[in-house]
Amino acid sequence: MITPEIVQEIRQIVGQDYALDSALDLFGYSYDSSFLALFPPSLPELVVRPRTTEEVAQVMKIAYANSIPVTARGAASGRTGGSVPLRGGIVMCLERMTSVIELDEKNMMITVEAGVRTGDIYNLCAQKGLFYPPDPASFKISTIGGNIAEDAGGMRAVKYGVTHNFVMGLEVVLADGRVIKTGGKSIKNVTGYNLTQLFVGSEGTLGIVTKAVLRLLPMPKHRTTLLLMFESLDGACSTIHQMLQAGVVPAAAELMDGKCLVAIARNRPFEYPAAAQACIITEVDGAEQADILKQAEVIEKIAADNGVLEVRTAKSAQEADELWGVRRALSPAVGALAPDRVSEDISVPRNEFPEIVRRISAIAGKYKLNFAVYGHAGDGNLHPSILCDLSDPRQAEVVHKAVDEIFAETLKLGGTLSGEHGIGITKQNYLKNALGEDGVAVLKAIKMALDPKGILNPGKVWAEEGKIHG
């Protein structure tokens, strides 16, 4: 599909070193951090690593003219196969687009290229007393472009919301190479359809985001982090539930079950009470020291009524960082517990969090499957992980049944099957259940309007007729 002449044309646009086609290079860009099998690899035909929007646009013009599929990629830390090229073609890796265009302190907004790492955005803003809240677990590695494509969430969503709540404007390269700017710095801005929010979460299927304007908040003056160990998962869930009802909205409230504690302890020194079956790590922030002390008090009292075994409070920013380091290392540590891990990203209305955890427990018991649960208890989004060995035929068969049932229960409780990881490849099966046929038809109509040739990240989000991946 991509002729040597086209490769040469593209090399002239981005530079000899930035269009890769050796077998090993192609393999390096065929995977992301999802549980899709590495082999047989889903290879691109060419990897392009542009430095500017102009280069992206020129490459897209060529791709469009020749109907070459293009899959955008950041740091490939995604969990659902979003940056895995399904139809060969070009992987457009935006990691080199790392310019910070402007930090506008007066308006509290920052304009960045898509390849800037979210963690770097946070640090840059923090230095000026400004706060970019969305913090997906991968934020030190993932790029803002990837976060925008997947509408990434993170631990602070319970209080602050997710990526889309902070995107004010975008620069997008369309399928045919035209470049548009959406939104802008104005707080109030209704100019045609809300294109900015259309592209956020579109998983690279409607356009390639090359720049973003993000709004910021003033950095909270005080924050404290608590780690609470519980004798039961129910007790932990109820604590979060009651905490919110008491009017304490934490900046983050993360839940981990006993399996997760085991996983963490394998890779770092981590002590916890032997009877602990669940752990919450929560952060409260506020403008006054007295404020946060009060919130911490309320949390501790509620926890005491719910079987808390131990409370640790971070005494310094470094300690807080260490406590959060535990949570951030969790996902890969859990993954290492079994040969295979099927992990989901379900989201239920906040009050149903304890109930969905109970139902997942029952489903795992029914199929005799080992599983771990962790998640953003404060906002109802959790990641049940089925720890299994898919080379065992019994497990391979029942794992899919278990996932089906978990999804069914989630939808019954009014929830959704993709809180923050996107649909990508891994959840296409379930899209129709969630949106209904008419809903999916609307998605397709929008796609047809913006990408009539279907070259942008084909095969993602909804299953093509007759083809289901993953």
318 counts as binding another protein under rule CB under 8 A: no
Contacts of 207 (CB under 8 A, 6+ apart): 172, 173, 174, 175, 180, 199, 450, 451, 456
Q: Which is nearer to another protein, 34 or 224 (CB)?
A: 34
Answer yes or no whether residue 96 interacts with another protein by CB under 8 A: yes
CA distance 281 to 292: 15
CA distance 436 to 453: 25
For another protein, the closer CB: 49 or 427: 49
Sequential DSSP letters for 163-191: GGGGEEEEEEE-TTS-EEEEE-S-SS---
Quick check: 38 and 81 in contact, CB under 8 A? no
Which amino acid is it at 300? E
Q: How far is CA 216 from CA 128, 315, 360, 382, 383, in A?
A: 11, 27, 37, 26, 28
Of 317 and 336, the one with the shorter C-beta distance to another protein is 336
Binding segment for another protein (CB under 8 A), chosen from 175-183, 326-334, 363-371, 435-443, is 326-334
Q: Is the Cβ of residue 89 or residue 307 nearer to another protein in the bound state?
A: 89
β-bridge partners, 408: none
Choice from 9, 11, 21, 31 touching another protein (CB under 8 A) = 31
Nearest distance, CB of residue 16 and another protein, angstroms: 13
Binding to another protein (CB under 8 A): which residues in 170-199?
A: none
Q: Between the CA of residue 324 and those of 225, 287, 468, what are the distances in Å?
A: 8, 21, 37
Nearer to another protein, 129 or 325 (CB): 325
Among 3, 23, 192, 271, which residue sits at the site for another protein (rule: CB under 8 A)?
23
Which listed residue (60, 68, 76, 200) binds another protein by CB under 8 A?
Answer: 76
* 17 DSSP assignment: G
- 95 in contact with another protein (CB under 8 A): yes
Q: Say how far residue 456 (Cα) sits from the centre of its chain.
A: 20
SS3 381: strand
Per rule CB under 8 A, is residue 141 in the interface with another protein?
yes
Nearest to 280 by CA among 253, 302, 261: 253
**Residue 39 interacts with another protein (CB under 8 A): yes or no:** yes
- 301 binding another protein? (CB under 8 A): no
CB of 93 to another protein, least distance (A): 8
Q: CB 224 → another protein: shortest distance, Å?
A: 26
Query: Which one, 345 or 451, has the nearer CB to another protein?
Result: 345
Give residue 386's identity as a one-letter amino acid code.
I
Q: Interface with another protein includes 316 (CB under 8 A)?
A: no
Cis peptide before 85 (omega within 30 of 0): no
Q: For another protein, which stretch binds (CB under 8 A), given 7-15, 135-143, 296-304, 357-365? A: 135-143
Q: Look at phi and psi of residue 444 and say left if phi exceeds 0, alpha if psi is from -120 to 50, else beta.
A: alpha
Kindly state whether residue 333 participates in binding another protein, applying the rule CB under 8 A. Answer: yes
Query: How far apart are CB 202 and another protein at their closest, in Å?
Result: 22
Residue-wise DSSP of 248-294: ---SEEEEEEHHHHHHHHHHS-----TT--EEEEEEEEESSHHHHHH
Our finding on whether 32 is near another protein (CB under 8 A) is: yes
Which of 220, 286, 335, 454 lies at the binding interface for another protein (CB under 8 A)? Answer: 335
Strand 70-73 vs strand 90-93: parallel, antiparallel, or unpaired?
Answer: parallel
Binding-site member from 9, 11, 27, 176 for another protein (CB under 8 A) = 27
Binding-site member from 2, 6, 29, 296 for another protein (CB under 8 A) = 29
Least distance in angstroms from the C-beta of 137 to another protein? 9
Give dist(CA 112, CA 85) in Å, integer.
Answer: 25
Sketch the per residue contact string, 257 through 296, with another protein: x for CB under 8 A, - otherwise. Answer: ----------x-----------------------------
**Residue ranges binding another protein (CB under 8 A):** 20, 22-25, 27-29, 31-33, 38-39, 41, 47, 49, 75-77, 95-96, 138, 140-142, 267, 329-333, 335-336
